[in-house]
Amino acid sequence: DALYFVMKHVDGPQLDPRVHGAGRGLPSVLDTIEPLAAALDFAHERGVVHRDLKPANVRFTADGRPILLDFGIALSDDHGQRLTAEGASLGTPHYMSPEQAQALTVGPASDQYSLAVMLYELVAGEPPFHGGQPLSVMFRQISEAPRLLSDHNPEVPVAFARALMVALEKEAASRYPSCIEMVQAL
């Protein structure tokens, strides 16, 4: 038995932080993130972890709805199998959770961390850890606390920035119970 994903082709534009983020305001950014959080929770409830969340894996439909794509390195906990070809990359360093960067066990909280990085980038114009070589970015994901978003962008309320920091916690167990609960906290 094998588990396969078949997805409808979405021909719209990719999520681009320069276009869909900075300057659009927090409500608009949350309108983009919330359906992605719901899609992730739907997958998580079925034992599937995406493991490669990044703006390039989000496209917009003709009516402007964001769609999560590319479950190419997804992991199925319920079925005990990887949904990935052998030798495939395990994610994109800028969006990896600390546990993923360390090649530890990943789960729904790993996807939540990556979604929080995307949200951070949409608001700040850059991910919390950027520049340098992939290994140095991964090391920073593991060892450094991100800069508070309100310090980066003074228009962001401190309460919002602190709520986002929960989803960016280094320990998976310290993050929100689900992606949609993260959005609700924000």
What's this model's pTM, rounded to 2 decimal places?
A: 0.86
> Could you list the active site residues?
52
Closest CA to 15 of 30, 27, 32, 28: 32
Quote the CA–CA distance of 48 and 45 in Å, as a whole number. 7
CB 53 within 8 A of CB 118: yes
- Domain at 17-185: CATH architecture: Orthogonal Bundle (1.10)
Residue 82 per-residue DSSP state: E
For 76-92, what is the mean pLDDT?
49
pLDDT in tens, 117-131: 999 999 988 899 987
Q: At 152, is the pLDDT very low, low, confident or very high (cuts 50, 70, 90)?
A: confident
Question: What is the overall mean pLDDT for the chain?
Answer: 85
Does residue 32 or residue 25 have the better pLDDT? 32
- Residue 100 phi, psi (nearest 5): -70, -40
Token pair recorded at residue 97: 């959770």
Domain residue extents for the chain: 17-185
For 25-40, what is the mean pLDDT?
94
